[in-house]
Structure 1
Amino acid sequence: MRAQQTAFSGFANPVDPTPAELRAWAHQPDVVPLHTMPPDWDLLVSGDHLIGTLLELALDRGCPARRFALHCLYIYAADGIRTNFRAHPKRRLRKMVESVEQDGDELLRIWAHNVRMLIARPELFDYHDWCEGGLVRHPRRLS
């Protein structure tokens, strides 16, 4: 059972939303359509400050913006791995993968598998798949 969501009326600063604003938007994304957000908004929100919220939203099967949250998880993972974990802590990503392997559905377990594959074989990185939503629109296990 989800806690009742508060009404979402917009972001105070869309390039730096709070976790509460992102959560409220994700449950009412039509209030501020994704196409009206700043360019590369997905890249802006896919950082350490909001990754816990994005993971929570991706785990919520009833969240209308769940696919967006999953897309941001792919961006976060790729950014961490491709920078040899200078951009994001390896421990945090590892804990996210382990959490998803235990509690996630098939879409999230595919994400966890793909993260492990990218760690082992960084040459599997494809910008379209990891940063433009290819692996979200066409889920598949990398091999």
Structure 2
Amino acid sequence: MSNPEEEAEIDATPENIRIRAWAKKDPNTEWVHQDWDMEVAQAKYADLILSLVEEDCPQSDFFVSCLYLLVGSYFTTNGKSISRNQIDELLSQGEQSKNQNVQHWVNRSRAFLLNPEKFGRNSWAEGGWALDEHIWRLPDEERVAIIEEITAAFHGVPRGEITLHEADVWDNYGSEEEAEQARSLDTDNCWEDIPETWIEECSSALPFLDPQSWRYYIPAYMIWTLKNYENSDSIASEWTVYTFCMLNRSKHEPDSKENDPERFQQLNQKQSAAVYLFLKYMGEHYLDAAEEAIQQYWKKFSPAE
């Protein structure tokens, strides 16, 4: 790492001075030239760009766009313009920021790096941060933000003993042989890989998962619900909300593992806070049971608490 004197010397280069001068200009100021954003969005200026966004300078939106350009250029240049290590280091710095635009950039970038095919690459590479409309189908920014919180909070969660299609067999009173065959269908390596069709097909499987697998699958179900509750006939949305309720269905479903307190205790603070945001949105826009779940257990994870 460089010492403060070295950093000050680097920051005083003519290029950095020029960029800092631009940062102070009115947002409506004409660009230096038509490719000004491409000139600025280079790995050697990455730390400066991030700091200018955090300072909320007049040209903050321009530099936010440059942050997205930096990540996009990793793919468009096959890592020649900026290395993956440099991106990871920059994202780690961004995680410490209190700036909302930076936080959104970190979450979206991590999701993009995991599944670039789910994003509109052209829009991203041009400095845009809109998710691919066909895949995400989100009409409001609030849902986008909640999905980002869920994605970041549950990233890297391992799967437990029971797989999704296996749980679906138990839900339908299947045999052990059928359950074993169903396990072979679950080829996912991380919950982000789970196809939406699986959630629609296994809409009521959540109660039959062990606590670890419940934690693994629940982010996929929450995201699916946020994206599809308005236009899908599947009951997956209802089951996703109900799985967070403190209800006892053991008399009716003796094999169900749902509502075991051990499930909720699997979640850390960040994951529980993401669940709260999900339930708050669903309670306001879809199902009263979501608000009941908040009052029963999840309200203690509200940011206001």
Q: 1:86 offset after TM fit, Å?
A: 2.4
Shift of residue 134 of structure 1? 4.6
Instruction: Give identity over the alignment, percent.
Output: 22
Query: How far off is 1:94 after superposition?
Result: 0.7
Question: Structure 1 residue 85: deviation in Å?
Answer: 2.0
- In 2, the alpha carbon distance for the partners of 1:65 and 1:50 equals 15
Preserved contact between residue 118 and residue 125 of structure 1 (Cα < 8 Å): no
Give the length in aligned residue pairs.
122
Deviation at 1:133, TM superposition (A): 3.3
- Counterparts of 1:86 and 1:36 in 2: how far apart (Å)? 26
Structure 1 residues 82 and 37: alpha-carbon distance in aligned structure 2, compared to 1, 3 A threshold: same
Match of 1:73 in 2: 67
Alignment of 1:17-28 (within 5 A): 18-27=15-24
CA distance in 1, matches of 2:124, 2:33: 21
Does residue 106 of structure 2 align to residue 109 of structure 1? no
> Aligned partners of 1:25, 1:87: CA distance in 2, in Å?
23
TM-score, normalised via structure 1 length: 0.72
CA 1:46 to 1:106, structure 2 compared with 1: closer, same or farther past 3 Å?
same
Is the counterpart of residue 59 in structure 1 residue 54 in structure 2? yes
Asked which structure has the greater CA Rg, the reply is 2
Match of 1:97 in 2: 91
CA distance in 1 between partners of 2:76 and 2:98 (Å):
24
Residues of 2 paired with 1:36 and 1:83: CA distance? Answer: 24
2:80 counterpart of 1:83 = no
Q: How far does residue 132 in structure 1 lie from its aligned partner after superposition?
A: 4.3
Corresponding letter in the other structure for 1:73:
L
Q: Given the two structures, how large is their TM-score scaled by the length of structure 2?
A: 0.36
Tell me which amino acid in the other structure corresponds to 1:24.
Answer: A
Distance 1:93 1:134, change over 3 A: closer
Shift of 1:56: 0.9
Give the drift of 1:25. Answer: 1.8
Q: Which amino acid aligns with 2:63?
A: A
By how many angstroms is 1:67 displaced? 0.9
1:58·1:69 contact (CA, 8 Å) conserved in 2? yes
Computed over aligned residues only, the root mean square deviation of the Cα atoms, in angstroms, reads 2.6
User: In structure 2, what is the equivalent of residue 44 of structure 1?
Assistant: 39
Amino acid at match of 2:128: G
CA displacement 1:3-45 (0-9 Å, x = unmatched): xxxxxxxxxxxxxx61111112202x14x92x24211211121
Worse overlay, 112-121 or 98-107: 98-107
Aligned position for 1:8: none
**What code does the residue aligned with 2:116 have?**
P
1:102 partner amino acid = Q
Offset from partner CA, 1:96-123 (integer Å, 9 cap, x none): 1111111232211110011111111121
In the other structure, the counterpart of 2:121 is 126
